[in-house]
């Protein structure tokens, strides 16, 4: 019997890696935390902003993952669900490659509502969808037996896994984004945000396609 432990560990590391990637991406909001602290001239504002961004991101991750956890009790259709999710992620990546415009509604959210902005940004960029194939892969490694086949038990197990995945991912995102925010706040200043902004839009879209493609490959 093949030991699946390395495979499981790789999936959990993928959750962390995607969180670090989201945190480094300016599009997930860390520059807004720096701007908030510099404009308010209060160091504590940086941490408050980071917490607000983390809260919005966590909510977005959970709202995307939990519906899939509810679907997974359909044991006979798990493979089809995974294929559908992978294709959805690839489709979003292709769409973002074609349509480079940033969602205009994000600019209309007041700076004081960072949690709302973070939630909408994560949803608009498909940040939660990137996690879905990884999450489904983790669920596929969970041991089930005849006594554990009840829909309620399966939904409870997968729902708990979804929350853990969302929490771990958001923690990694906050650490990465927070580290960059602190560096810019202490040493580089607000001017860096206007001159040193790096655009990861193409990389983001390609990463969605890559995650979806790898998920489809893993099913064969």
- Backbone Cα Rg of the chain: 18
Q: Kindly give, in sequence order, each residue whose CB lies less than 8 Å from that of residue 28, ignoring residues fewer than 6 positions away.
A: 22, 53, 57, 118, 121, 122, 125, 127, 173, 177
Please write the tens of the pLDDT for every residue from 68-126: 887 776 656 777 888 888 999 999 999 888 886 766 767 777 767 899 999 999 998 88
126: region left, alpha or beta (phi > 0 left; psi from -120 to 50 alpha): left
Task: Tell me the whole-structure pTM to 2 decimals.
Answer: 0.84
**61/147 Cα distance (integer angstroms):** 30
Please write the tens of the pLDDT for every residue from 165-207: 999 999 999 999 999 999 988 887 666 666 655 566 788 888 9
> What is the domain partition of the chain in residue ranges?
5-218
- How far does CA 184 lie from the centroid of its chain? 23
């Amino acid at each position: 019997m093949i030991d699946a432990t390395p495979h499981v560990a790789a999936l959990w590391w993928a959750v962390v890696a995607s969180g670090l990637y989201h945190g480094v991406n300016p599009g997930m909001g860390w520059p807004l935390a720096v701007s908030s602290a510099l404009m308010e001239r209060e160091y504590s504002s940086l941490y408050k902003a980071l917490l607000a961004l983390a809260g919005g991101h966590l909510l977005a991750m959970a709202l995307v993952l939990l519906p899939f956890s509810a679907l997974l009790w359909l044991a006979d259709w798990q493979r089809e669900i995974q294929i559908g999710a992978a294709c959805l992620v690839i489709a979003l990546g292709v769409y973002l490659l074609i349509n480079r415009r940033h969602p205009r509604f994000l600019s209309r959210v007041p700076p004081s509502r960072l949690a709302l902005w973070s939630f909408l940004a994560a949803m608009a960029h498909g940040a939660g969808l990137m996690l879905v194939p990884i999450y489904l892969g983790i669920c596929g490694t969970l041991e089930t037996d005849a006594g554990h086949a009840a829909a309620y038990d399966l939904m409870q197990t997968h729902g708990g896994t979804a929350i853990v995945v969302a929490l771990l991912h958001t923690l990694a995102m906050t650490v990465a984004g927070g580290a960059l925010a602190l560096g810019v706040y202490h040493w580089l200043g607000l001017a860096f945000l206007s001159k040193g902004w790096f655009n990861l839009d193409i990389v983001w879209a390609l990463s969605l396609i890559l995650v979806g493609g790898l998920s489809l490959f893993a099913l064969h």
